Amino acid sequence: MNNYLNKLCGLSKLRICLSLILFALIGNQASAAEDEHEEGEEEHVEISAALANELGIQTQIATSGDLKRTLLLYGKTMPDPQRVSHVSARFPGMIISIIPALGDKVEAGQLIAVIEANSSLQNYEIRAPLSGTVVEKHANPGELVTDATLLTIANYESIWVDLTVFPGDSQQVVAGMPVTITMENLSADSSIRYLNPSQGESPVVIARVPLTNSNALWTPGLLVEGFVVIEEVTVDLAIEDEALQVFEGNQVVFVLEGDVYEPRPLSLGRTDGKKTEVLAGLTVGERYVVANSYLIKADLEKEGVEHDH
């Protein structure tokens, strides 16, 4: 009887051990399958077009582009000498009348003063030699004039910008190069008309840039920056720098397919500070996120943190 009970207990223990082993094998297989499934999943974010529009997520098509290497120069706005006139009397005499006030606008040929000549006691007229604004006034009716300036008329519809080029940069700058002039929120495009050696013993060169100013936004005497394009090259594929994000240690852009945004690691080439050449990782014609790509990155990183927990 005792032998029978011992055998029965031995069989029970064996069944329990086998059951435990079987459960362990099943658990390992399930865990491995789950890990394999998670590793096979691609990281992406799905956002509807309506929500993307609400979030300000903007995309554009990847295409070729121009990279512009620029040189920053500093300078000052100057009046155009050919558009400034210092008006004086032709003959000495007394001012009978002087019509425009300081700050008045005049048209070319407009009567601006009447003078009684000392020699003949006859009146003669002075008319505006150009259209512009009276920026200086040095005489009034009843005063005697000789050859002194009565008033100064200036036209600022076009002005000049004098950019200072230091010796270390002079070999890179030549006439005809495109340049963007900026000051705070103002910006205008032009090109270098000519280079003029500085006066005196200064080793610098002055790059003179004409600037159209029909809307009168620019005035003489402003301190400005000039971005001179010293090299321009066309590359097969270039993206906007604002599209780039660092994700999991890689420089990426987020590519849009349907409503799905996927991080795409890139191999990058040359850059001009605004656009960057793409050597690999993106192809022409794909649509990538330009504005507010950080929102997609934040969502992916949030999902990663939740998964770790």
CATH of the domain at 161: 2.40.30.170
Task: Pick the last residue of a domain from 154, 177, 199.
Answer: 154
In a domain, 27, yes or no: no
Same domain, 74 and 214: yes
Domain that holds residue 145: 84-154
In a domain, 4, yes or no: no
In a domain, 136, yes or no: yes
Which one-letter DSSP state was computed for residue 168?
Answer: G
Task: Pick the last residue of a domain from 183, 198, 233.
Answer: 233
Rounded to whole angstroms, how far apart are CA atoms 252 and 240? Answer: 12
* Assigned token pair, 147: 């050859």
Q: Which of 75, 73, 77 is nearest to 221 (CA)?
A: 77
Confidence of residue 229 (pLDDT cuts 50, 70, 90): very high
- Bridge partners for 277 per DSSP: 238
Rounded to whole angstroms, how far apart are CA atoms 37 and 140? Answer: 93
Same domain, 206 and 229: yes
Q: Which residue has the higher pLDDT, 291 or 41?
A: 291
Same domain, 280 and 300: yes
Same domain, 74 and 202: yes
> Do 106 and 134 meet the contact criterion of CB atoms below 8 Å apart?
yes
Domain count, the chain: 3
In a domain, 23, yes or no: no
pLDDT score at 5: 41
pLDDT tens digits, 296-305: 888 888 765 4
Task: Pick the last residue of a domain from 100, 128, 154.
Answer: 154
> Do 144 and 94 meet the contact criterion of CB atoms below 8 Å apart?
yes
In a domain, 22, yes or no: no
Confidence of residue 11 (pLDDT cuts 50, 70, 90): very low
pLDDT score at 7: 46
Percentage of the chain surpassing pLDDT 90? 63
> Do 65 and 240 meet the contact criterion of CB atoms below 8 Å apart?
no
pLDDT tens digits, 178-200: 999 999 999 999 999 999 987 76
CATH number for position 119: 2.40.50.100
In a domain, 3, yes or no: no
Same domain, 74 and 163: yes
Average confidence (pLDDT) over 135-143: 95
The Cβ of residue 21 has, within 10 Å, a number of other Cβ atoms equal to 10
Amino acid at 119: S
In a domain, 98, yes or no: yes
In a domain, 117, yes or no: yes
Same domain, 180 and 75: yes
Same domain, 186 and 74: yes
Amino acid at 46: E
Same domain, 249 and 304: yes
pTM for the predicted model, two decimal places:
0.64
Same domain, 111 and 214: no
CATH number for position 289: 2.40.420.20
